[in-house]
Structure 1
């Protein structure tokens, strides 16, 4: 099964769609591998102007890591191997050579918010919930999300989202600067977002790449990858603790009720 579906909705614009709608588009190991290969396959295309990340279906953009799969990881080492693998992928997304757009067609929670953070722009459907809920599971963001968020938002805005670990509506997230545009449910979500993207880009891909490279070079000079890996290591330490495993067990039991 293709867990990442690639299409080209506009000339020079590639869309990668997370394709596990029955699992709220949660990320598992196979999803990671396919996302990595997809990014590698397109990043050097000379005609590429933009990249879109979105989710299949109407319920979820991405609900984060597949908790049933990753709950099997118990030790700090096991956790770090998984977390750093996805962290490397999100670093590639963060430093992708053309603008990136997260189209939040549905809920974005935990790691789903980290994927969205790695993108340059976040457009969301009205009434959708987002949240860096990792703190409720006694861990921090595990894929480098906090480091990336602090590059994108003002310090107090970013830390409000991280410290609280709350789910909030995209309308509030827009006021905090996390969401750039909320699309009315009366409109066709993808028609409006595609038009927004089309209108926000000049025609010459070389100009687009040159502008993006200014920020990417700054991130590289300030050691973004190392900072993300430090965050990920700290998460892996918390992952091993009983508090995390108990919180996950409680969460899974509540879902069964």
Structure 2
């Protein structure tokens, strides 16, 4: 499928989705959010896609924020609708995606860009990456999940400071804050991320889908994460992957998971 603002590359089960608006530092506009929504829904249906890597084009930015020109004149109702639709269409979709989603942060990840990276299941950053939520400097707050996901990742105090100061942190501070899992050179970023994706794909993708659901349940109001874990744990016993994994272990051979 052809898109205007994103590029796709499938490499042996690893789908790399690149936000490609270099003249706008890959800023998220309505069209890009819609294209990401469509690309992810397509990837959900494609059995050959096992892991998704989100990144930005060029060497300057992952996603430098939302496209402010699109909503500078919005009313209260339009602003609320913008946040609600964006969260449902993209950010919550990424967070709850049944296949692993890794953000390869290759430069500026600001505002909606950091919110997109935080929605991914984990993040790897290049040394030149800068991250922040500068929305209060524009008279608004993060609206794509930033006020919720940032405290979950870095703690309430650090999140409050980052949001209130509208400041940026570099990749090494992000690593110290547990906002990212690893820091690499920009040249090594995608190769390093793909190596982790390959390690993931050696395992049962059915079990990984259950693990994503169970981990996420701990962060959703009204859900009992332990109860979800028990349910998903039990569900695994009825899968072909469980039978293959246990049989391979007992027979001291490498498992060949059917993905069922």
Task: Please indicate the TM-score interval, normalised by the length of the shorter structure.
Answer: 0.7 to 0.9
Counterparts of residues 114-153 of structure 1 (less than 5 Å): 114-153=115-154
Does 1 or 2 have the higher relative contact order (CA < 8 Å, sep 6+)? 1
Q: Distance in 2 between matches of 1:136 and 1:33?
A: 27
Q: Which protein shows a greater Rg?
A: 2
Q: Distance in 2 between matches of 1:128 and 1:218?
A: 29
Which residue of 7, 10, 24 corresponds with 1:8? 10
Counterparts of residues 1-257 of structure 1 (less than 5 Å): 2-9=4-11, 11-73=12-74, 75-88=75-88, 89-185=90-186, 187-220=187-220, 222=222
Judged with a 3 Å threshold, the aligned counterparts in structure 2 of structure 1 residues 45 and 213 are, in CA distance, closer, same or farther, namely: farther
Cα distance, 1:45 vs structure 2: 3.4
Partner SS state of residue 55, structure 2: strand
Partner SS state of residue 43, structure 1: helix
* Aligned 8 A contact 1:87 1:144 in 2: yes
Deviations 1:64-101 (A, max 9, x none): 1112222232x101212222211112011111112211
* Aligned 8 A contact 1:109 1:133 in 2: yes
Judged with a 3 Å threshold, the aligned counterparts in structure 2 of structure 1 residues 222 and 14 are, in CA distance, closer, same or farther, namely: farther
Q: Distance in 2 between matches of 1:200 and 1:32?
A: 27
Partner of 2:227: none
Partner SS state of residue 127, structure 1: coil
Partner SS state of residue 159, structure 2: helix
Q: Distance in 1 between matches of 2:221 and 2:214?
A: 11
Q: Distance in 2 between matches of 1:24 and 1:161?
A: 21
* Aligned 8 A contact 1:48 1:205 in 2: no
Cα distance, 1:18 vs structure 2: 0.7
Judged with a 3 Å threshold, the aligned counterparts in structure 2 of structure 1 residues 169 and 220 are, in CA distance, closer, same or farther, namely: closer
Partner SS state of residue 177, structure 1: coil
Q: Which runs of 5+ in 2 are unaligned?
A: 224-260
Cα distance, 1:34 vs structure 2: 0.8
Q: Which runs of 5+ in 1 are unaligned?
A: 224-257
* Aligned 8 A contact 1:46 1:205 in 2: no
Partner SS state of residue 151, structure 2: helix
TM-score by length of 2: 0.78
Aligned residues: 220
| RMSD after superposition | 1.9
